[in-house]
Amino acid sequence: MKKFNIKESFRKGVKNKRLRHGSYSMGLALIVLAIIVVINMAVNALPSKFREFDLTGQNLTQISSQTTEVLDALTKDVQIYLVAQSGQEDETTKKLLDNYAQASDHIKFEVRDPVKNPAFLNSYQDMDLYNNSVIVECGDRKKALSPDQIYEYQMDYTNYSSTVTGFDGEGQITSAISYVTSENLGKAYTLTGHDEAAMTDSLKSLIQKQNLETEDLNLITADQVPEDADFLLIFSPMADISAEESVKIQNYLTAGGHAFIVAGYTGGTPQPNLDALLAGYGLERVEGVVVEGDPNHYTGSGQAYIVPDKESHEITSGLEKYILMPMAQGLQESQDHRDTVQVSSLLKTSDAAYSKPDPANVTTMEKEDGDIDGPFMIGAAITETVSAGEGNTGMEDTGTEGADTADTDTEGADTDSTDTGNAEDQSASKETRIVCLTSELMFDQGIDSQVIGGNMELVGKAVSWLTDGEEVTVSIPSKSIDNTSLSMTAMGTLLGFLGCIVVIPLAVLVTGLVIWLGRKNR
């Protein structure tokens, strides 16, 4: 019997080509596996903003440049909590808050389970908290955001079910950070008493996100526009303002006040005093409703659903989304306004636009005799540098009876305003600012959703411009949700890439090698 020699057998095995090739393949596989493990460890060490990507284009969890500016300006520490039971955390909100914490050393973020930590809620008994509520606090000031504020819903009354239509996480959270870190909050007064349109939920939410308090103002009973007003909102009145109110508004504006005026088609109801006020600042309303003749400037809903051109201005800067202005009224710059008044177009129709003077009795949308030729402004911004002690100069020679009445009362009203309003520094100058838009329907959520929030983004930037001052304002619109969010991590992308160029080819190679060796040994 021949003795088995282990050393000789091993030496022959090393010389065997098949065994040598198999060793090479195994070594290569181990090297590739080691590389994948090392890359995986390196990628997991990176912040999530570098590891995860939103492939839907909605960027629900990414923070915008405006939020970055707010975070960069922080000098106080802000604590944020996501109140959620373990395993029930909203991943979109959680990921967004992670990005806030990574963007600023002043932001601290924690998830708190109220079931496991019931004592945590003792400090927030004055707040209505729900699963996935967000608490933002700085010092003694705090604010709670419910899931219904973070997400937007649309109710289907046919089956009484709701569908998520928008994610307003960034806008609400950045607003809350601004709120808890601000020393003073702004205030907007809404003119009442003229059958004004009700503010839409979208507009209310936007003003709330700007950290502005709102209060109704009746200028029939009030002596003046309050001095703490950041701006006066005149929201689509159907009836005219009185001559007395016109004087009070004019006094406020000539002292450097700001106004947001939505003045659209009123159904033929004359508004001579409001027209006189606008004319004093270089704007004239064109009779009727604007119709577009250029197919590139209206939607499938009809020629009165105008998609205007955005003109160059601070308000429209960086605004990439479309604007939709249904049933807008045209504006033209008057030729005889004061030289100190600067009128800037924000939104403009095409040259093919025209106005239907009597839209209630329109028989055709085609241009016909009697229609007023465009183009028109349907959104404008006005500025005027004034002395802090300057009196009323804007109502002369406007050509209406209401304006004449206002002029008669101007001297006394101006004296009162000067005596009470600006005794500190008569020589200082201020800038009057006015934004005028001519479509009430543009504020409707359904209309706004057709341009993916473009309308409210414009309005938000306009409010920021009007409240430009000491405090940071926030005008981040909600993000529309029209499909399921799809995210892929950087590691997933890497594994997919390696799978395609390494694992699959290697598997094919090994399979082919096994088949070839099997056939060779037959």
E-strand ranges in 192-244 read 212-217, 231-235
- Cis omega (within 30 of 0) for bond into 375: yes
d(CA 353, CA 251): 36
The answer, yes or no, to whether residue 488 has pLDDT greater than 70, is: no
Q: Establish if 128 belongs to a structural domain.
A: yes
Q: Is 195 exposed, middle or buried (0-12, 13-18, 19+ CB in 10 A)?
A: exposed
Q: Which amino acid is at 158?
A: T
Looking at residue 155, its pLDDT comes to 61
Same-domain status, 222 and 326: yes
158 neighbors 442 (Cβ within 8 angstroms): no
Residues 97, 71: contact at Cβ < 8 Å? Answer: no
List the structure tokens of 353.
């636009």
In the predicted model, what is the mean pLDDT of the chain? 82
CATH at 134: 3.40.30.10
Domain contains 65: yes
Q: Are residues 91 and 101 in the same domain?
A: yes
pLDDT at residue number 442: 95
The DSSP result for 361-386, as a single string, is G-S-SS--TTPEE---EEEEEEEEEE
Residues in the chain: 522
Picking from 164, 184, 204, the residue at the C-terminal end of a domain is 184
pLDDT digits (tens, 9 = 90+) for 208-218: 878 888 999 99
Whether the pTM exceeds 0.75: the reply is: no
**How many CA atoms lie less than 13 Å away from 494 in the CB half-sphere?**
16
252-298 per-position pLDDT tens digit: 999 999 999 999 898 888 999 999 999 999 999 999 999 999 999 99
Of the candidate ranges 344-348, 385-389, 402-406, 475-479, the one whose mean pLDDT is the lowest:
402-406
Could you give the 3-state DSSP secondary structure of residue 447? helix
94 lies in some domain? yes
Residues 24 and 161 in one domain: no
Write the CB contacts of 109 (distance below 8 Å, at least 6 apart in sequence).
80, 81, 82, 97, 98, 100, 101
User: 56 pLDDT exceeds 70?
Assistant: no
Asked which of 14-23, 24-33, 96-105, 360-369 is least confident by mean pLDDT, the reply is: 14-23
- One domain for residues 279 and 172: no
Q: 447 and 346 in one domain?
A: yes
Give the model's pLDDT for residue 486: 37
Do 359 and 347 belong together in one domain? Answer: yes
List, in sequence order, every residue forming a beta bridge with 434; answer none if it has no partner.
259, 382
Within this chain, do residues 209 and 244 fall inside the same structural domain, yes or no? Answer: yes
Same domain, 127 and 257: no
Residues 79 and 195 occupy one common structural domain: no
Q: Do residue 316 and residue 381 come from a single domain?
A: yes
Tell me whether residue 505 is in a domain.
Answer: yes
CATH number of the domain encompassing residue 244: 3.40.50.880
pLDDT, residue 47, reads 59
Residue 110 falls inside a structural domain: yes
Q: What is the pLDDT of residues 329-380, one digit of tens each?
A: 999 999 888 999 999 999 999 999 999 999 988 889 999 999 999 999 999 9
State which residues form the domain around 125. 60-184
Confirm whether 235 is domain-assigned: yes
Structural domains of the chain, count: 3
Establish if 481 belongs to a structural domain: no
Asked if 400 and 269 sit in the same domain, the reply is: yes
Domain end point (choices 168, 184, 200): 184
d(CA 411, CA 44): 72
pLDDT reported for residue 482:
58
Output the pLDDT for position 395: 45
Residue 6 has pLDDT above 70, yes or no: no
pLDDT number for residue 128: 85
Same domain, 154 and 210: no
How far is it, in rounded angstroms, from Cα 260 to Cα 232?
6
End-to-end CA distance of the chain: 29
**Residue 191 is assigned to a structural domain of this protein:** yes
Pick the closest to residue 50 from 479, 422, 490 (CA basis).
490
